[in-house]
Structure 1
Amino acid sequence: MKIVTVGDNCMDVYLANDQAYPGGNPVNAAVYLKGLGADAAYIGWVGTDSYGELMKEKIHGKGVDISHLSTKEGKTAVTQVELKGNDRCFGEYHEGVMTSFCLTKEEVEFVGTHKLVHAGIWGHAEDKYPLFKEIGLLTSFDFSDQLGHDLVKSVSPFVDYSFFSYTKDDDYIRQFLKGVVNHGSKIAVATLGENGSLAYDGEQFYQKGTVETEVVDTMGAGDSFIAGFLYGILKGLSIDDCMELGSETAAKTIGYFGAW
C-alpha cells in the first residue's frame, strides 16, 4: 500500500516555550499513514539551516521514505504557533525555500510508482494533478479552510478525495460539498472540529462525531483525520468506517504537543 505525499513542510514554533516541531499537511499525513501501516514517502524541500536537518532527521526517524526530500540553499519554512487554551492559533508563516518548490520529471515518475498521491493547498503541486489522474493514480487534496479559493474549482475535478476544514454541519457546507462532487471529486469531506466530520459521495451524506479524549494540543488533528480516512479507503473500508478511523487517529494526535 504505497502512498506519496507532496509539497509543504514547516517547523511549527511554539512562541510560549520556543519549542519547534516538524509539520506541514503532507509531512503530517505521511507520518500518520506510516504509523497506520502504509508504505509512505514524502517529497518536498528543506533549507540548509538547522531546521532543515531536524526536519529530515525526524521524518526519517518515523520510517517515511525521504529519498526525494531535497535540501536547497536558504531557510526551512516556519510557522509561528500560539496556544489559546488547548487550541493552536497560527501566526506568521515564512515559506522559505518552499516558495519555489516544483516537481521534477523524475519526481513525477517516482510519484507514479505509488497507489495514491496527497498534497495540500499550500504545497505548489496542484498543477500536476491532471497528470496524476491521467497516469491512473488515486488522488487526495487538502484545501484546508480555503473554501473560496480558486483552486477548489480548478483542482477538484482531478481529485478523488477532497478535504476541507469548516466549523459545523449546516446547509452551507452541505451545498458546498455537493458542489465539489459535482465538479468531479469522488468524495468530499469536511472536518468540523469539535463537531466531528461530514462527507458526501454524490448520493448521500455521512456524519461522524469526535472520539472523546483529553485535548492537549489540536495541532495535526485534521491531517491525522485525513490519514486515517485515506488508510481506510485503501483498505477497502466503507465511508462510515473511514470516517471512524479518521476520528480515532485524530483523537490520538490531540493528546500530545505538536503534530507528531
Structure 2
Amino acid sequence: MENTIVVGMGEALWDVLPEGKKIGGAPANFAYHVSQFGLNSRVVSAVGDDKLGMEILDNFREKKLNAMVEIVPYPTGTVQVELDAEGVPCYDIKEGVAWDNIPYTPALEDLAKHTKAVCFGSLAQRSVVSRDTINRFIDAMPAEDTLKIFDINLRQGFYTKEILCNSFSKCNILKINDEELVTVSRMFGYPGIDLQDKCWILLAKYNLKMLILTCGVNGSYVFTPGNVSFVETPRVEVADTVGAGDSFTAAFVSSILSGLSIGEAHKLAVETSAYVCTQNGAMPVLPQSLKDRVIK
C-alpha cells in the first residue's frame, strides 16, 4: 500500500468568513482523509509568495499532509464568504489567483507516472493554465489499473459544457450530487426526469467504471455496469457540512484501492461523511474504528 500514491489536484485557498479565515479547497480535504486511511497521498496545487500562501504550507506540514505545491507570482486564493439576512452564505471566489496557475513541471510528470488514483474537479479548470496541467497529469498516469475520479463540484459559473465533457471523457469514476445532475442534464439535454436514468446514461456514454450520486439526506448511490448500491444517510447532529463530500470520496477511493467491495466502500464512505458532518471544519481526525476498516 505504501507505493500507492493518491493525488488530490486543484484549488488550495482560504475561506474568509465573518468570524475569520479557514483553510479550504477540496483537493487538500480529499488528500488529508486519504492519508488518515493509511495511503500515501499528495495534494497538488499552487500558492502565492505571500503570508496566506506560507500559512497554507505551514498548515499542511502541521497535518503531516504531503504536498507538491508550487509558489507562483499570483496571490494565494481566497473565497469571500458573506451571510445574508437569513444567514445563507454567498461566495465570491477570487479569480486570477495562484491555484489558477498550477504549472506542469518535470516533478509533477514524475508524480503522475507513479499515481494510482487522482481526484480532480471542475473549479480548478476554469483557467487554461491549471486546466492544461490537470489534463497533462491525467494523460501521464499509467494507462492500466488507475482510478481517475472527477468530483464535479460545480461552483458559481466556473464551468462550461466543453470542460465537463472533456472531464467525463478523462475520468473513469464520476462523483456528482443530485443538484449538479439536474444542471448537467439540462446542459446536455438528457430526457426524462428520473435521476437514476440520467446516471445510467452517463455511465454508458462515457464508459465509466462507477458513478457516485449523492442526494444529501436522501441517501447515495453507486452505479456500476449492471448494478447499483444504495445506502441511506445516517441522521446525525450536524455541526457543519464543510468537506463532508470530500471525506466521502476519500473513504470510498481508499477502500476500493485496499480491496474492499463496492458495497463495503460505499458504506464506509457514508459513515465517514456523516462523522465529518458532526465535527467543525473539513479536516477532523477520524475515529480509529473507521480507519481500521481500511488499514489492515
TM score, norm. by length of structure 2: 0.78
Deviations 1:216-257 (A, max 9, x none): 111111111111111111111121211111111112222233
For 2:28, the equivalent position in structure 1 comes to 27
**Residue 151 of structure 1, CA deviation:** 3.2
For 1:180, the equivalent position in structure 2 comes to 202
For 1:81, the equivalent position in structure 2 comes to 81
Cα–Cα, structure 1 residues 218 and 64, in superposed 2: closer, same or farther, change >3 Å? Answer: same
For 2:98, the equivalent position in structure 1 comes to 97
**After superposition, where does 1:33-72 map in structure 2 within 5 Å?**
33-66=34-67, 68-72=68-72
Unaligned runs of 5+ in 1: none
For 2:153, the equivalent position in structure 1 comes to 144
For 1:134, the equivalent position in structure 2 comes to 143
AA partner of residue 177 (structure 2): S
Deviations 1:162-196 (A, max 9, x none): 11122599954212222222112110111211222
For the residues of structure 2 that align with 1:148 and 1:228, how far apart are their CA atoms?
29
For the residues of structure 2 that align with 1:247 and 1:71, how far apart are their CA atoms?
35
For 1:162, the equivalent position in structure 2 comes to 174
1:153 to 165, 189, 193: 165
1:206 to 209, 225, 229: 229
RMSD value over aligned CA atoms? 2.6
Unaligned runs of 5+ in 2: 125-130, 183-191, 284-296
Question: Which protein has greater RCO, CA pairs closer than 8 Å, 6+ apart?
Answer: 1
Partner of 1:115: helix, strand, or coil? Answer: strand
The answer on whether the counterparts of 1:112 and 1:135 sit within 8 Å (CA) in structure 2 is: no
For the residues of structure 1 that align with 2:279 and 2:240, how far apart are their CA atoms?
6
Larger radius of gyration: 2
For the residues of structure 2 that align with 1:114 and 1:133, how far apart are their CA atoms?
8
Cα–Cα, structure 1 residues 140 and 227, in superposed 2: closer, same or farther, change >3 Å? Answer: same
For the residues of structure 2 that align with 1:255 and 1:88, how far apart are their CA atoms?
20
Q: How many residues align?
A: 256
**Residue 52 of structure 1, CA deviation:** 0.9
Aligned-pair identity (%):
24
For the residues of structure 1 that align with 2:47 and 2:268, how far apart are their CA atoms?
31
The answer on whether the counterparts of 2:244 and 2:276 sit within 8 Å (CA) in structure 1 is: yes
AA partner of residue 150 (structure 1): E
**Structure 1 stretch displaced more, 151-160 or 181-190:** 151-160
Cα–Cα, structure 1 residues 241 and 160, in superposed 2: closer, same or farther, change >3 Å? Answer: same
1:3 to 1, 6, 9: 6
For the residues of structure 2 that align with 1:142 and 1:244, how far apart are their CA atoms?
18
